[in-house]
Amino acid sequence: MHALLMLASLLATPAAAQPVAIAPAGTPSQAVAASAPLVAPLIPHRPLPMQGERARLDPYGGWRDDSRQDPALLTLLGEQNRWTEQQLAAQQPLEQALQAEWQAQARGEPMPQEWLSEAGSQWRMEADGSLWQRSGEQAEPRQRLAARQPASGYYELAGWALHPNGRWLALAEDLQGDRDYRITLLDLADGKPLATLTHRASDLLWSLDGKTLYTIANEPRTLRPWQLWAWRDGKEQQLHQEADPAWLLSLYRTTDRRHLLLQSNNHDSAEQYLLDAGRPALLKARQAGLEYYLDTQGDRVLLKSNRDGALGLYQVADLSQVAKGEWQPLWSGEQRSLEKWRLFVDYTVLQYRHKGDDWLDVLDGRGRLSHRLLLTEGAGTAWIQGAHDPASGQILIRRQGMAEPPHQRLLDLASGRWLPDARAALPSPYQSERRWVVGKDGVKVPVSLVWRKDIHTPKALLLYGYGAYGTPMRPYYQPQVLSLLDRGFVYAIAHVRGGGMLGDEWYLAGRGRHKQHSVDDFLTVAEALARDPAIDPARLFAMGGSAGGLLVAATLNQAPTRFAGAVLQVPFVDLLGTMSDPELPLTRQEYAEWGNPAIAADYAAMRRLSPYDNLHAAPYPPVYVTAGLHDSQVPYWEPLKWVARLREHSTGPGPYLLSTALDGGHRISLGNARQQAAREYAFLLTLAGARR
């Protein structure tokens, strides 16, 4: 076993909670308050012809309101929220108990605070929008800007950029959850705004001479980051526009801070421009299927690129060689998935996944392999943590597992050895592992599981899935999940195709016309775990959010009696309707992920899968669904329409509950996240027969 597993002194595991009794299978659960009305408020039909080449009538399509101000809509959503609260009133004591447990639970070793060195000081911004300054690591911080988060409502600080003079501060803030950011430029001397720039992405960069602030404007309606703007001396000028509707703009600075880059990319290609001289200067023209991403450290110019297939690392003599294609291969990504890389003065460090495990390679200044380390095995994960000092000879690695609280260690890059850590590991009442389940077509699907070791009666199971965009869904340590385990649950993550757990081939096998593979894998994992003698097959539950909501909803259509209940968080369920409307955010950028309905073969595959279009008469299990009124990624009308149609078609007793955050979007604000999680978990625990 790798040294990190054998030598690392883990943070003390929180004191073991006592297992809580849970009702055996077949015990009736009181999921619905006895005094609550049993019939949900009607969601009336509002027929609307669907956009696209194939004429179709959507019975609930008229509930779409791009302004989010229709009085009838707001009244309807309010009624649905109140009914949901009434149905769940009986579980409030359990919700409160869960929140109290989470408040008291240890969360592992906290991540180190990151401070920006600028203008002779160190600076840090908190999530509430407050700014802090200190003169050095040992100095006491002083507050330079009060918290900007309002007392109620949604707030996200998505980005900030401090001017080199330490006086001007640019902030990117979202006040309703739609990811359409407001940029505010403040003078820290008096706190007064110098400029307010609306309808922006969160990217912010000061020019090398400090005279210009670069931002990215969002396209109207679609919110696609599409224009580069330069603010200088109180005036703005547009410098660049991305004409292709499937491409997005972004900004970043190289490791040595010597170069500014404007990047344009779609799902599998990239193009970059240098902004050093104040105007975009093309590095290498776009080429279909070619990705490249530049970074520099001193005289070294490196590129992450898929030029030879998988994403690997290349070196060029100077910036002029990027366009010529005279790239020297340094590190091949074949059979590996490169996730992060860091440049140091004397080293290059690469973090990647191989067969589901996390690895780290250290290259010397000439690009030769010095050290290779296995960071994790099984149901654990590790990664390069935070920013780094390029002049340092150390790198921070953070590790955690489903039964292993987060902790971090410094790696000495010269020796490849971990720095000593005196903390001792304590025994844990929880156990985790990775299993492999043989899928419908013979493919082995990885599953990460965790449970409490001292509960021996057949356990309920919560199966989580995502399976999109190549996202690996790492098996994190989740303190909130421990409350499920203490009450007799097994928690599992099905790493289905479409995700990135096993690399690009795994991802490609579950997207577009192959999306059914994701559903097959999820259902196969559920069936396999239901056959485990330690699991109660009558108490299987499913959970998925956003694209994972599509996975779970499609699975419910294809196997409506497999699960005893489900939670769908802001679920993407109207696959055909959304992908047929190019004016919606993300649609034109995601044809490769989900398919283009204008293409006959794509349409056929999407029609077979789309959760909204495939609801049918069947005894669907109870479902709790969340939505955000200002969500620009999954608009509120998708969950609304899906719940309406589910109630119309299901022959089961339900309940089918909808809760819409009227002041939020795709993400839950930090102030409401714990309360929302408690409601979701209490819903599942009550269905499983939890007594408290």
450, 491 Cβ separation under 8 angstroms: yes
CA distance to 143, 216, 317, 537, per residue, from 26 (Å): 57, 56, 70, 11
474, 328 Cβ separation under 8 angstroms: no
pTM for the predicted model, two decimal places? 0.92
Domain membership of residue 301 (yes or no) is: yes
Domain membership of residue 332 (yes or no) is: yes
Domain membership of residue 448 (yes or no) is: yes
pLDDT-derived band at 378 (thresholds 50, 70, 90) equals confident
Mention every residue, 6+ apart, whose C-beta is less than 8 A from residue 170.
160, 161, 162, 163, 183, 184, 185, 186, 204, 206, 213, 215
Amino acid at position 442, single letter: G
143-160 average pLDDT score = 94
Same domain, yes or no, for 157 and 228? yes
Same domain, yes or no, for 360 and 399? yes
Domain membership of residue 58 (yes or no) is: no
Domain membership of residue 16 (yes or no) is: no
Same domain, yes or no, for 474 and 495? yes
Task: Give the residue carrying structure tokens 């006895």.
Answer: 34
Same domain, yes or no, for 383 and 475? no
What percent of the chain shows pLDDT beyond 70? 94
Question: What are residue 265's phi and psi, to 5 degrees?
Answer: -155, 155
What percent of the chain shows pLDDT beyond 90? 85
- Closest by Cα among 410, 514, 413, 527 to 463: 527
140-149 average pLDDT score = 96
Taking each helix axis from N to C end, the angle separating 600-609 and 516-530, rounded to the nearest 10 degrees, works out to 30
Same domain, yes or no, for 469 and 486? yes
Amino acid at position 446, single letter: P
- Closest by Cα among 652, 616, 620, 623 to 639: 623
Domain that holds residue 232: 116-336
Mention every residue, 6+ apart, whose C-beta is less than 8 A from residue 489.
451, 459, 460, 461, 462, 685, 688
CATH, residue 192: 2.130.10.120
Mention every residue, 6+ apart, whose C-beta is less than 8 A from residue 632.
178, 179, 180, 223, 585, 665, 666
Euclidean distance between CA atoms 563 and 7, whole angstroms: 41
- Closest by Cα among 95, 32, 19, 27 to 689: 27
Euclidean distance between CA atoms 183 and 172, whole angstroms: 5
Euclidean distance between CA atoms 553 and 474, whole angstroms: 22
Question: What are residue 288's phi and psi, to 5 degrees?
Answer: -55, 125
pLDDT for 226 beyond 60: yes
CA distance to 253, 255, 564, per residue, from 622 (Å): 49, 50, 7
Task: Identify the domain boundary among 285, 302, 336.
Answer: 336
pLDDT-derived band at 79 (thresholds 50, 70, 90) equals very high
Same domain, yes or no, for 359 and 303? no
CATH, residue 658: 3.40.50.1820
Task: Give the residue carrying structure tokens 């911004």.
Answer: 125
Same domain, yes or no, for 320 and 218? yes
Element (H, E) at 689: none
pLDDT for 181 beyond 90: yes
- The pLDDT score that the predictor gives to residue 107 is 82
8, two tokens: 């690392």
Please confirm whether the linkage preceding 193 is cis (ω < 30° from 0): no
Mention every residue, 6+ apart, whose C-beta is less than 8 A from residue 100.
none
Element (H, E) at 58: strand 57-58
Domain membership of residue 154 (yes or no) is: yes
pLDDT-derived band at 3 (thresholds 50, 70, 90) equals very low
Instruction: Give the full edge-to-edge strand order of the sheet including 300-305.
Output: 292-297, 300-305, 312-316, 328-331
77-99 average pLDDT score = 97
- The pLDDT score that the predictor gives to residue 554 is 98
332, 354 Cβ separation under 8 angstroms: no
Domain membership of residue 124 (yes or no) is: yes
pLDDT-derived band at 423 (thresholds 50, 70, 90) equals confident
Strand-pair category, 270-274 with 404-412: unpaired
pLDDT-derived band at 343 (thresholds 50, 70, 90) equals very high
122, two tokens: 């160190």
- The pLDDT score that the predictor gives to residue 29 is 43
Euclidean distance between CA atoms 665 and 670, whole angstroms: 12
Same domain, yes or no, for 381 and 464? no
Same domain, yes or no, for 388 and 442? no
For 426-438, the pLDDT digits (tens) are 788 999 999 999 9
Mention every residue, 6+ apart, whose C-beta is less than 8 A from residue 300.
315, 343, 365
For 482-527, the pLDDT digits (tens) are 999 999 999 999 999 999 999 999 999 999 999 999 999 999 999 9
Residue 451: strand, helix, or coil? strand
- The domain tally of the chain equals 3
Same domain, yes or no, for 276 and 413? no
pLDDT for 32 beyond 70: no
Task: Identify the domain boundary among 401, 419, 437.
Answer: 419
Question: CA torsion, points 175, 177, 179, 185, in degrees to nearest 10?
Answer: 10
pLDDT for 36 beyond 60: no
Domain membership of residue 42 (yes or no) is: no
Euclidean distance between CA atoms 634 and 584, whole angstroms: 10
Same domain, yes or no, for 216 and 329? yes
- The pLDDT score that the predictor gives to residue 8 is 28
CA distance to 91, 348, 370, 419, 575, per residue, from 415 (Å): 55, 14, 9, 10, 51
Mention every residue, 6+ apart, whose C-beta is less than 8 A from residue 128.
147, 148, 149, 155, 157
Same domain, yes or no, for 358 and 328? no
501, 468 Cβ separation under 8 angstroms: no
CA distance to 361, 382, 409, 503, per residue, from 7 (Å): 19, 15, 11, 29
- Closest by Cα among 138, 118, 114 to 127: 114
Task: Give the residue carrying structure tokens 């912010």.
Answer: 204
Average pLDDT, the chain: 92
413-437 average pLDDT score = 89
Provide the b/e sequence for 263-282 (b: ≥16 CB within 10 Å). Answer: bbbbbebbbbbbbeebebee
Task: Give the residue carrying structure tokens 């290779």.
Answer: 372
For 593-624, the pLDDT digits (tens) are 999 999 999 999 999 999 999 999 999 999 99
Task: Identify the domain boundary among 391, 419, 447.
Answer: 419
Euclidean distance between CA atoms 238 and 236, whole angstroms: 7
pLDDT for 177 beyond 80: yes
pLDDT-derived band at 15 (thresholds 50, 70, 90) equals very low
